[in-house]
Structure formats: C-alpha cells, structure tokens
Amino acid sequence: MIDLFDLYNSFTSVVNTQIGGWFRPQTDFTKRCNDISKKLWVKWTREAEKSQECKDNLMPFLRSKNIIVSTTGPYGKFSPPKDYGRFASTRIIVSGEMCYPDKSVDNGKCEQGNFKSQEELTDEYFDSIKQVDVELIDDKKWGAVNSHLTKKPTLSKPKIRQIDNGFEVAPRKVSVIVLDYYVEPSEATFVYTISPGNVQTGAGDQIIYDDKNSKPLEWPATVRNEFLNELGLSYGIFVRDQFVTQATQQQKMTN
C-alpha cells in the first residue's frame, strides 16, 4: 500500500509548495489522490486483458467468488457480488456432467447459497476435476452462438452474456460458476493535527500525522510514481488558477 503522508512529503518536495502555495493535505491533496486512484482503476481495468503490467498493478483489487447459477429458464442466471466493479474472467470446475465450486476460493463456499454436494469436495476428488474457461459473448451474438450447429455452448465450451444487472449462462447444466472480478478502490484518508507555531521565531506549524486513523491507498508501491506525476499535473493547474484569481482581484482594485 501507499502511505499518504509519505506520498505527501515526496509530492511537496517535488513541486516545492513552499513557493507555489499550500496544497492542503486533508482536502486538496487527499481528494486528488482518491480521484487519481479511481482514474487509474478505470484505465487499467480497461486495458488489463492486454497488459501484464496492468494486471500486476490491479492485483489488490482482484477477487474470486463461487456463485450458484439458477436454472429457472432456458439459460442459467447469476448475479455478481455486491462489491463487483468490473469483469475479469469466469470459469467452471467440471467432473463428468457436474459443476462444482473451486475449493481454493472461500474454501469452496458459494455466494448466494449453499452447494448441495459440499461434503463431496475432498482433496482426492479435486485431483480428478478440470477447469474450463467461460467465454463472455456480446449480446448481439448470443442468439447466433446458441443456435450454431457445431459451436453451441457445452460443458466443455460454456458461454455467458451480461444482461439485466447479471449474467446468463449456457448451457443450463452449469450449476456453479467461478467469477473473477475487480472491486473499486476504497477512499484513502489523511488524518493529522498541526503543532502550534512560534510567532517570534517562525518555528512550528508542523504536520503531526495520525497513521492509526488514516487509511493508505490500496495500490502497490510500483504505482507510486504514477500518483506523483498525476499530482504534479494537478498542482500545476491548481497554482495557475490561484494566480489567475489573484490577478483578477488586483485588476478589479485598480479599475
């Protein structure tokens, strides 16, 4: 994780806020850090499929869940977890004509219900199963895929599509699916107090950081430079706006 106080110290030394103007830690700085966090998350989840670097950066946000698939209609259906942010991948665990949860995910427990054959999930049994990737199909191709003579969905080649705030699954024999997805970054916080300054000497007015009540950015340390670059750009805009405001006020006073 990235500690906000450490990041703030690096940021102020790079842009020299002593001259340009104070970027308030709890408001300007923290708000911008959280905005950058969301921006990077959106950018890299979009590119993760094609970039290993993006996948590595997003590792703190990747989750897996076993989800029971309901089969009340022509297709199976399931809803993503409440903390679902963006799709990563799906797969099924197959043995013969049956699907099972992944024992390495939440000890084989399923989201949104209990799997009836939970007692069958032994180490010996898992040696005989196979994992099958599930392909996400565009909505406009769903009908064609399911009616294709030779490429229609099977347990060895299952398909899903995203619809109605959830997913449809084919074939309907799929009873449990393993969903990999990205959760959104949580808000980081920067809690501190200011030591009283000495008017005569100018000493004091130092930030006293409260690390116990602060919350760091969840990103890995390898992303730290990305935040510094984005913060530098934001500070440049911030300073320019302040100078424009001051110049406008002075212009009004002379008119």
Tokens describing residue 108: 């084989």
| pLDDT interval class at 250 (50, 70, 90) | very low
What pLDDT sits at residue 245? 38
199 falls in which pLDDT band (50, 70, 90)? Answer: low
**Looking at the structure, do residues 90 and 169 belong to the same domain, yes or no?**
yes
Under DSSP, the state recorded for 213 is: T
Residue 95, Cα to own-chain centre: how many angstroms?
Answer: 32
Any idea which residue has 């923290």 for tokens? Answer: 30
Q: Is residue 158 part of a domain?
A: yes
In this structure, the answer to whether residues 69 and 177 fall within a common structural domain is yes
Q: Are residues 85 and 167 in the same domain?
A: yes
Quick one: CA dihedral 5, 8, 13, 16, positive or negative?
negative
Q: Which two tokens stand for residue 233?
A: 């750009």
Q: In terms of residue numbers, what domain contains 136? A: 62-182
| 56 inside domain | no
Residue that wins the pLDDT comparison between 62 and 194: 62
Residue 57 lies in a domain: no
Contact between 1 and 227 (Cβ < 8 Å): no
Give yes or no: residues 74 and 178 share one domain. yes
d(CA 53, CA 65): 24
Average pLDDT over residues 35-53: 95
Average pLDDT, the chain: 83
Digit-coded pLDDT (tens) for 51-106: 999 999 999 999 999 999 998 778 999 999 999 999 999 999 988 788 888 888 88
CA angle 52, 55, 61 (to 5 degrees): 175
The pTM score is 0.82
pLDDT in tens, 218-232: 999 999 999 988 888
Average the pLDDT over 132-146 and give the result.
Answer: 91
pLDDT at 100: 85
Average pLDDT over residues 40-54: 94
Q: How far apart are CA 130 and CA 127, in angstroms?
A: 8
Separation between Cα atoms, residue 146 and residue 233, nearest integer Å: 50
The closest alpha carbon to 194, from 186, 203, 184, 183, belongs to 203
Side chain identity at residue 201, one-letter code: T
Among 182, 205, 229, give the residue marking a domain's end.
182
Q: Do both 194 and 177 map to the same domain?
A: no
pLDDT > 90 fraction of the chain, expressed in percent and rounded: 46
DSSP characters for 126-190?
Answer: HTT-EEEEEEE--GGGHHHHHH-TTT--BTTB-EEEEETTEEEEESTT--EEEEEEEPPPPPPB-
Residue 33's H or E segment, with its range, is helix 30-47
Q: How confident is the model at residue 170 (pLDDT cuts 50, 70, 90)?
A: very high
Q: One-letter amino acid identity for 172?
A: R
Reported confidence tier of residue 248, pLDDT bands at 50, 70, 90: very low
Say yes or no: 136 and 172 in one domain: yes
Structural domain ending residue among the three candidates 182, 198, 232: 182
How many domains would you assign to the chain? 2
Domain boundary among 134, 149, 182: 182
Specify whether 89 is located in the same domain as 165. yes
| 117 pLDDT above the threshold of 70 | no
Instruction: Tell me, yes or no, whether 145 and 227 share the same domain.
Output: no
